[in-house]
Amino acid sequence: DAGVIQSPRHEVTEMGQEVTLRCKPISGHNSLFWYRQTMMRGLELLIYFNNNVPIDDSGMPEDRFSAKMPNASFSTLKIQPSEPRDSAVYFCASSPGQGPLYEQYFGPGTRLTVT
């Protein structure tokens, strides 16, 4: 089975540009998570979808960040406009259930550099 797929794997962009990160969860998984990882702040949950509906977006840093999940097999995380402090590795993860007793499977991550 294919794991969680993320694209692009690396993105370098200039400050002020729009960035769109993409994620395809594991087929059959109904929960999807976006995380951001930096040396300073570790792994932070940005937003969590269940059955394509955003459940918890309290981790989204500010209005520049938005996430969508139009269907069960695709999600996007958009940053507009991007800033250098957004540089990080962004992970998408999916889980087969909605409750706390389900493990998450991570994608390979997108390394974003904003110059």
Partner 1 sequence: AQKITQTQPGMFVQEKEAVTLDCTYDTSDQSYGLFWYKQPSSGEMIFLIYQGSYDEQNATEGRYSLNFQKARKSANLVISASQLGDSAMYFCAMSRPDSGGYQKVTFGTGTKLQVIP
Which residues of the shown chain bind partner 1 in the complex (CB under 8 A)? 31, 33, 42-43, 45, 48, 50, 55-56, 89, 91, 93, 95, 98-109, 111
Task: Give whichever of 15 and 43 is closer to partner 1, judged by the CB atom.
Answer: 43
Closest to 24 (Cα-Cα) out of 111, 108, 113, 112: 108
**CB within 8 A of 109, min separation 6: which ones?**
6, 9, 37, 89, 90, 91
Rounded Cα–Cα distance for residues 17 and 37 (Å): 21
Min CB(108)–partner 1 separation in Å: 5
Min CB(54)–partner 1 separation in Å: 11
Min CB(45)–partner 1 separation in Å: 6
